[in-house]
Structure 1
Amino acid sequence: MKYFEFIDPYYALIKAKDKTSACEVYERIVADEPTKPYEKTRNQALNAFLMDEDGEFSELMREFNKDGEALLLVDGGLL
């Protein structure tokens, strides 16, 4: 899996197999018309995820390492 960060119109960090899939997840869950995503390394994505999420480390790691595409982080204004 690869990791993609979207900045506009809303922030999101998405785990997906490729950029096209990441854009589809963004459009389906976050908002229409995403801007160009930036590919992040696994370590960059993990660091962002751990810095933003609260909880027990082992549970956070389980969540981050789940198989399949996932919305890992989303703009707090959408919650």
Structure 2
Amino acid sequence: MKYFEISSPYYALIKAETEDRAIAKYVELVADDDGELKDEIKEVSREHAMNIFSNAKSEDGEAVSTFETIETFNSPEDIVLAVTSELL
């Protein structure tokens, strides 16, 4: 798996097999592609992604358990790991 950050129009951290799949997941769950997502997306390290994800809160603002954090982070599916709080 690879890890990607998109900063605009809304921040998201996404785990996906490819950049194209990360963009598709972003468009599906976060925001439409205004034609600039290819310029906004960047691959980040697994360590960076885990640091961001482990400090993220659930949709209701609660801390996520260590077990759930590790289970979700290591799951094999493409997933949005974190989004800006503006969208919650």
Tell me if both proteins adopt one fold, taking TM over 0.5 as the criterion.
yes
Point out 4+ residue stretches in structure 1 off by more than 4 angstroms. Answer: none
Number of aligned residues? 79
Aligned identity (percent) is 38
Structure-2-length-normalised TM-score: 0.82
| Cα deviation, residue 36, structure 1 | 2.1
2:24 is the counterpart of 1:15: no
Secondary structure at the counterpart of residue 46 of structure 1: helix
Q: Find the counterpart in structure 2 of residue 57 from structure 1.
A: 66
RMSD across aligned positions (CA): 1.2
* Unpaired runs of at least 5, structure 1: none
| Cα deviation, residue 56, structure 1 | 2.0
Q: Find the counterpart in structure 1 of residue 60 from structure 2.
A: none
* Unpaired runs of at least 5, structure 2: 58-62
Secondary structure at the counterpart of residue 3 of structure 1: strand
Distance 2:43 2:8 in 1: 15
Structure-1-length-normalised TM-score: 0.91
